Structure 1
Amino acid sequence: KLLSLVDVCLIRAGHYRVLADPGNGAASEVLPELLKQAGCQVIKYNCEMDKPPGREPEPRAKSLQTTAKMTVKHDCDLGLGLDMDADRVLFIDETGAVLSEDLVGAILGKAEIKKPKDILVTPFNSSGIFKAVIEKAGGKVAECRVGPPEITAMIKKTKAVFGYEESGKYFFAREFIWADGLLASLKMLEVMAKIEKSLSEIRQSYPKYYQVKLAFDCPWEKMPRRWVGKGEKLIVEDSWLFIRASGTEPLIRIFSDSPSQKRAEELAQKGKKMVEELCIG
């Protein structure tokens, strides 16, 4: 089924060498097999379901450093790091760079735009790179609250073609409205094959955005209502500051995003000051 959703012939023509790291999780057998059927030469890493994950179960740039080194060591075109149930995936290029989830969202989302004003969904705290790339490509961005249920609801409401969140979950809504790391892996290979560029070349062709993420303890009784639920977003030209209370623990999270690293840091400090005044002062 998944192979029918991409141009397999195009992927096979690329003769890609892929490192598959499903973290000894649910995709330990299916991911390598799927890649082989797509014509890829597969290097298996952490593909034994009867063993512990072999790394942190959550795929993040920090937890995939060994996976990135293995990708380079085995001269792979692409490295894949999935979580235990394979609904999340991070991508590693041939130089060992782990691509940010927001950049991947922009790359995969752009490829899903088939006609002007196709709608793509993402939470309020996603990087500005997504909106910049999608709108330049002729798409339209619909923002929603943080979390997969909210993304799914907005996809249904707007009849969107794609959605993502910065945890590495990508929703290809023309096919189904849940995140699938296996399909996302195939879609990235398809993008590489279509434009005939390496993943590092694709990465370097996109604008650079910087994010700062902070978290502060805040007792429930002092939690400002304005930051509960949807949270508060302050947009300053091409940059933004987003403050939101955690839904599960007494924490307030601060996100800032900008094409300028200095501006991102300044906005984060502004958010920190706001939190300290209301929760600590």
Structure 2
Amino acid sequence: MALIKSISGIRGTIGGKVNENLTPLDVVKFTSAFGTWLQNNKNKKNLTLVVGRDARISGAMVNSLVTATLQGLGIHVVDLGLSTTPTVEVMVPELNADGGIILTASHNPKQWNALKLLNEKGEFITGENGAEVLALAESENFNFAAVDGLGKYETRDDGFAIHIQKILDLPMVNAEAIKAKKYKIVVDAVNSTGGIAIPELLEHLGCEVIKLYCEPNGHFPHNPEPLKEHLGDICELVKKEKADLGIVVDPDVDRLALVDENGELFGEEYTLVAVADYLLKNKKGVAVSNLSSSRALRDVALKHDSEYFASAVGEVNVVTLMKDKNAVIGGEGNGGIIYPDLHYGRDSLVGVALFLTHLANENKTVSELRATYPSYFMGKKKIELTPDIDVDSLLTKMEKEYQNEEVSTVDGVKIDFEKNWVHLRKSNTEPIIRIYTEAFSQEEADSLGDQMIAKIKSLI
């Protein structure tokens, strides 16, 4: 089992030994560290934090520990209960709160849980801030409130309603156009909170909803990561029901995968591509994704006389670059849509509304829309090295080997060839170089990965 402490939060498996798993003591310690860090950095009394959780089995227990600990620090708590990552992100500034904690391990299996930490904007705290929180956790230099200074506790059940209304109010969401189509849509929410939020949004958009695994009980019926090998049930049900579309979200609803009317996956990479196509068609600007995302987003941006930029891997890095470039749209190739007109966070709900608007405007089936985009295929490989090998030095050698190509060293080494690309990144935890490739066929993508492994070995 495991406990992973990172600058973006803490996650681990429930049960086991302290400091080795996400035990109650670990939850209290890291909640105390985050609360204390906020108190140290806010020049005000009476801080308020928003807390929300996905539907995983340990959620209620972890929620009780987190909210009580915050109260013990003298911090007021607004508990949204069952929620989604983007809903909590929206509600933090909506309630003028000083930060937030999302209790979710995202696409990890049911034995995992995590604390994701938000600032007063409802955005993930920076790496520098995260390091400060981790240092506080190690020092355990906490000062809890006296009995008269305990924080207040309140619950709210209007998070989804507020979030959805903000989406419906967006100028680029055309609810009437969607309603006119009377789409029939199957939703697989892996028995988490997307099973509440996504159908509620779709009903506001006049869609007929067929629910699959939408009971928020935390018993995931399949691996919760929305990848092709896990989604056979919804692909079959879309065909059986003659539905127009299938929608798949992960447990905290920040990743969006789509299934076409034939039961074929639209492609996680292409969720962002389709939304960007719609937005940039109507407003020239900038699109941003990370270095390991599909080239198709760049192609779409160029088609609309817009610009494309790539950040280092990680949502915080994407958001930072989006702000720097004043991007119209951004996200990650894993189905994460970041639409800054709503908020700077991956949001499957706004992704659904924008995609359906695009689909309705184009008057195409989902498969017909997909056929309008270039087809790329991605490969993922890795090369394991002995601990004595200097991985950074190896990557520098690779950069020099391909200096006549378009090379980025923002995050590892990415080499853009004319018809394909390769991205080499070192693991933070083991002597491994991860190799991501993309080409016009799966065979070519895999072959390029093998070529890179051979080249790396020749340089050792």
Partner of 1:82: 249
**Alignment pair present for 1:268 and 2:449:** yes
**Alignment pair present for 1:53 and 2:220:** yes
Pairing 1:1-281 to 2, within 5 Å after superposition: 1-5=166-170, 6-113=173-280, 114-116=282-284, 118-225=285-392, 227=395, 230-277=411-458
Distance 2:221 2:386 in 1: 36
- What are structure 1's unaligned runs of at least 5 residues? none
Deviates more, 1:33-42 or 1:223-232: 223-232
1:236 partner amino acid: F
Q: Which has the higher contact order (CA 8 A, sep 6+)?
A: 1
Deviates more, 1:122-131 or 1:34-43: 122-131
Distance 2:429 2:333 in 1: 18
> Once the 2 structures are TM-superposed, how far is the Cα of residue 219 of structure 1 from its aligned partner?
4.5
SS class of match (1:131): helix
Distance 2:356 2:322 in 1: 24
The 8 Å contact of residues 106 and 133 in structure 1, kept in 2 or not, is answered as yes
Distance 2:178 2:299 in 1: 28
Change (3 A) 1:271 1:43: same
2:436 partner amino acid: F
1:186 partner amino acid: A
The 8 Å contact of residues 229 and 244 in structure 1, kept in 2 or not, is answered as no
Deviates more, 1:184-193 or 1:269-278: 269-278
The 8 Å contact of residues 419 and 440 in structure 2, kept in 1 or not, is answered as yes
> Once the 2 structures are TM-superposed, how far is the Cα of residue 69 of structure 1 from its aligned partner?
1.1
> Once the 2 structures are TM-superposed, how far is the Cα of residue 260 of structure 1 from its aligned partner?
4.6
**Whose Rg is larger?**
2
The 8 Å contact of residues 266 and 367 in structure 2, kept in 1 or not, is answered as no
Distance 2:213 2:271 in 1: 23
1:37 partner amino acid: H
1:4 partner amino acid: D
- What are structure 2's unaligned runs of at least 5 residues? 1-165, 396-408
- Normalising by the residue count of structure 1, what TM-score does the alignment of the two structures yield? 0.92
1:2 partner amino acid: I
The 8 Å contact of residues 423 and 436 in structure 2, kept in 1 or not, is answered as yes
1:171 partner amino acid: I
Distance 2:358 2:453 in 1: 39
The CA RMSD over aligned residues, in Å, is 1.9
Deviates more, 1:6-15 or 1:217-226: 217-226
SS class of match (1:244): strand
1:161-218 alpha-carbon deviations (Å, 9 max, x no partner) = 1112122111112221100011111211111101110100011122211222112333
Deviates more, 1:122-131 or 1:141-150: 122-131
The 8 Å contact of residues 77 and 93 in structure 1, kept in 2 or not, is answered as yes
Distance 2:232 2:189 in 1: 14
SS class of match (1:112): helix
> Once the 2 structures are TM-superposed, how far is the Cα of residue 136 of structure 1 from its aligned partner?
1.2
1:129 partner amino acid: A
Distance 1:37 1:84 in 2: 22
- Normalising by the residue count of structure 2, what TM-score does the alignment of the two structures yield? 0.58
1:8-37 alpha-carbon deviations (Å, 9 max, x no partner) = 111100100001111111222121111111
Distance 2:345 2:368 in 1: 29
Deviates more, 1:231-240 or 1:75-84: 231-240
2:335 partner amino acid: G
The 8 Å contact of residues 144 and 151 in structure 1, kept in 2 or not, is answered as yes
> Once the 2 structures are TM-superposed, how far is the Cα of residue 223 of structure 1 from its aligned partner?
4.6
Number of aligned residues? 278
